[in-house]
Structure 1
């Protein structure tokens, strides 16, 4: 594979990091070479695959009925957000605030893929399916025993040409129709047999030569696999699309830059707005709802005057046709990288004393946005869950300082919602940054286009938060601060617990009502992935990946840790 580093990209990520530039440069160069970030011409063909392991004998077929019943079922974790709501709430309560102090690891499963590890595993009747980051041009889908961590089979994919911004990550798989679905960094959607790991079909969904990459966990609704794409730092046009779950044939595609309004000239053709976190589905209303990324060029709007519709937005489509139903734009004409990329979540909230169907999304702006699910109209913004200083100041040649920085607020990290406390739990980052305005570069296919730069302020604010927000009022219920920016995800359970991880290796359990830390375990690598909960034969387990994070330079690992209470 031909490898090429990108000096502008490396420089940008160096400025994002809190570590010294010299230390990070070595990490960035090594990571870029490992990931295989290559030129936009003369691509090599990926798609080489291999399966090692044995056939699973149990029932691992996920049906539409199971997916729609997930909110009330307690044993499995069937989709990335646990249910179509993206609630990340488990009704299990065997592990609770009174006994979590006794929680202990029952397995530490090492995958052999040591890199940014952001997967959300799914669990089907005692079998765990998880995806790995890419290492040495290979990424894997692994089926393992969800109680022991024993690998049952491994499907390995060899990537071809790629261009990536933020580490060789993959955030998980989806299961339905007797198959498991995953996306690859070189833009392929793959279906494998859930019992054997054998590939059933593979479809290319975008062209990596132009900057598209696939990092998200897909979601499945009836006969459709729904996906989006990353790559908003390149002059591409974002999209979300549905594919036939049996054949891989495209059913519909929606582009996230409006060709009719909100853009100067034809800037919509290269306007970004990528969709790279898992959508939510409202079966009752026939909607797929998702959040969208930044416009391109990211940090200079001179070449894209207008609101830049539908970037930085919450968007709802008819799930059967892919046609627009409504949208709410959080940041118009964004020049701060304040993209809306945390998972949209379905919740019912009070609006003028009446419970109404709603959608929530944790913004990089440090507000939690709640909109009406039927109209897209804003119901409320929360109190800020992170610091806001000099916000929305226009970048200048000399630079301006502001909070939140370009990472947020909340970045991609999925929140969790507890219907018991009525709180949503959000990870956040306080990173004071300087935004500098530079001359905008032209849109050249296959070349990264940023528009300006941002960097951490030396000796400035650099910490993280976990915040509980009352969805009916938008008020902060409690806030916990940790020594480094938070990135990964949150799990809430009926046991009055909230689980989350830290970049220094701690995996924490908090009292959901008060925020008091009740338990922690250090896994030796950054816990920068969302935890899950499930049960097998009546025993509750909590699992999380620990593999660090490239963007924030947290220590690498390759493990999935599985915890349970001691057997009596």
Structure 2
């Protein structure tokens, strides 16, 4: 079934991936850098709240116990991955493969923030909370009626100095203790009262003048708000940190570059390894598990000899202390921008007939990596879900053509895992690129480090995939080819459905077992955000943001679309 509605196109389109990396990154800078600055920058006075509807009277105080019970309860979507496993699987099945053809929009809610839109909304007892991209130096946290799309309040934050690589994006919020938490591009962690939208506290987590930024959705476990750092294209040192839910005070921090053995000289001090996407929590084992980004400088490794731990890795920490538990490095001494940026998922897999707790990550290399959750040891890599050509060839001054390109494989787009099919659903992209290196430049605080380029090959392959991978074997169950590179995210449901969006505006529902498209709806802007499922008063809803994507110049918009079965 096919539907469509008109929507305004973006006023400004930027094509990423056809420019040198150093030029592209500069396009994303919102303000000029302050090289050598030592004090944190940005607004300390907070944001502004506008109340547009009635006071929220629903119980919107989320607890860790509620999140831990999420696998058995489908009404809410309490954290960005729906549960601590980051499964993005909903047990709801009112909407299913047999009736999804009757799915219709019940609300097309406009936020007023037209830009690259990557948020995953969360839903707490009928109230939806979502974050917007930055537009005119402002970004917002919005509370809506999850059944009607009516705005209840909007908290607007004005960014200070910031430097961004990949669009003015924000990937969502977290909720706990009566507050909702968001991160800002100028490195603030903000707690906002979930009922009123009033700011409760704000903490500075890094210095944006050096190239740090915050784009991820935080997560909450026990008394901690857990975050990571973006900005790996600048000469900075990545980290993961925990902050007190009630006060915003830092509890611990883990730095993702290991200075002991795997870096030459002092290169670990500016070695990258940033953490772009939300960690997962293994509550039973007390582990925080996440993926890390590329080393810095990106495509030129001459000044950072060694494996460059813990970049391009799946890393597990003891969540209460932030101490290292284990790691698995997907790509050693990366000079291809093959960083691990997609969310880690938790699931059980089979090894020689035995059930083993596992963690998986969809790599830019076009392999889905599965490791033992207790030891970090590699169990298996999947069959390639995208094309591979000249992989791991060394970039040269003249340039080398390679697949996957620097975007992947899998970019930040979160996969979904279904315990019913034992398959993970991965978004991928085939972008033939030329990788070149240039003379290295020194690490200067606050400036992008030069010395690398990657460009799309004119008239080369440029398409995408949605792939189902069996986690017990690593074999591909089905592979759907899409007309454009895929970036956004997947949702799997107990109704035997997989939902995902395309850059051309289509929002799709697939049969989870076969990959057959069963329904689609065109939202007029790139659907480059992860969908969610939830229920209000017994009625199941599907929601997704449609606002395009900076990196792939998909058409911009500002809407959140909410769907349900026609009555």
Which TM-score tier does this pair reach, normalised by the shorter chain? over 0.9
Name the structure 2 match of 1:204. Answer: 204
Matches within 5 A, 1:545-556: 545-556=545-556
Name the structure 2 match of 1:395. Answer: 395
Matches within 5 A, 1:2-401: 16-17=17-18, 32=28, 36-40=30-34, 45-47=42-44, 48-53=46-51, 54-401=54-401
Alpha-carbon distance in structure 2 between the residues aligned to 1:44 and 1:220? 25
Give 1:15 deviation, angstroms: 6.2
The question of whether the paired residues in 2 share the 8 Å contact of 1:313 and 1:327 is answered with yes
Alpha-carbon distance in structure 2 between the residues aligned to 1:15 and 1:177? 40
1:124-176 residue CA offsets vs partner (Å, 9 max, x unmatched) = 00000000000000000000000100000000000000000110000000001
Give 1:388 deviation, angstroms: 0.5
Per the alignment, in what secondary structure is the counterpart of residue 321 of structure 1?
coil
Per the alignment, in what secondary structure is the counterpart of residue 429 of structure 1?
strand
Higher RCO, Cα 8 Å, sep 6+: 2
Name the structure 2 match of 1:5. Answer: none
Matches within 5 A, 1:335-484: 335-484=335-484
Flag structure 2 segments of 5+ consecutive residues without an equivalent.
1-13
Q: TM-score, normalised to structure 1's length?
A: 0.94
The question of whether the paired residues in 1 share the 8 Å contact of 2:235 and 2:270 is answered with yes
Give 1:450 deviation, angstroms: 4.2
Per the alignment, in what secondary structure is the counterpart of residue 389 of structure 1?
coil
Alpha-carbon distance in structure 2 between the residues aligned to 1:282 and 1:325? 12
Give 1:55 deviation, angstroms: 2.4
The question of whether the paired residues in 2 share the 8 Å contact of 1:15 and 1:454 is answered with no
Alpha-carbon distance in structure 2 between the residues aligned to 1:49 and 1:510? 41
Per the alignment, in what secondary structure is the counterpart of residue 71 of structure 1?
helix
Comparing 366-375 and 52-61, the one that deviates more: 52-61
Give 1:58 deviation, angstroms: 1.2
The question of whether the paired residues in 1 share the 8 Å contact of 2:504 and 2:526 is answered with yes
Alpha-carbon distance in structure 1 between the residues aligned to 2:315 and 2:528? 27
Per the alignment, in what secondary structure is the counterpart of residue 72 of structure 2?
coil
Per the alignment, in what secondary structure is the counterpart of residue 16 of structure 1?
coil
The question of whether the paired residues in 2 share the 8 Å contact of 1:426 and 1:467 is answered with yes
Give 1:196 deviation, angstroms: 0.4
The question of whether the paired residues in 2 share the 8 Å contact of 1:291 and 1:340 is answered with yes
Per the alignment, in what secondary structure is the counterpart of residue 71 of structure 2?
coil
Q: Pick closer, same or farther for the CA change 1:28–1:409 going to 2, 3 Å.
A: closer
Give 1:317 deviation, angstroms: 0.2
Give 1:44 deviation, angstroms: 6.4
Per the alignment, in what secondary structure is the counterpart of residue 560 of structure 1?
strand
The question of whether the paired residues in 1 share the 8 Å contact of 2:63 and 2:177 is answered with yes
The question of whether the paired residues in 1 share the 8 Å contact of 2:174 and 2:219 is answered with yes
Alpha-carbon distance in structure 2 between the residues aligned to 1:309 and 1:450? 22
Alpha-carbon distance in structure 2 between the residues aligned to 1:174 and 1:14? 31
The question of whether the paired residues in 2 share the 8 Å contact of 1:263 and 1:308 is answered with yes
Name the structure 1 match of 2:529. Answer: 529
Give 1:45 deviation, angstroms: 3.5
Per the alignment, in what secondary structure is the counterpart of residue 486 of structure 2?
coil
Flag structure 1 segments of 5+ consecutive residues without an equivalent.
1-12
The question of whether the paired residues in 1 share the 8 Å contact of 2:178 and 2:193 is answered with yes
The question of whether the paired residues in 1 share the 8 Å contact of 2:41 and 2:209 is answered with no
Name the structure 2 match of 1:4. Answer: none
The question of whether the paired residues in 2 share the 8 Å contact of 1:201 and 1:248 is answered with yes
Alpha-carbon distance in structure 2 between the residues aligned to 1:487 and 1:64? 30
Alpha-carbon distance in structure 2 between the residues aligned to 1:284 and 1:422? 21
Stretches of 4+ aligned residues off by more than 6 angstroms? none
Superposed CA RMSD in Å reads: 1.5
Give 1:353 deviation, angstroms: 1.1
Give 1:40 deviation, angstroms: 1.8
Alpha-carbon distance in structure 2 between the residues aligned to 1:40 and 1:218? 27
Alpha-carbon distance in structure 1 between the residues aligned to 2:166 and 2:138? 17
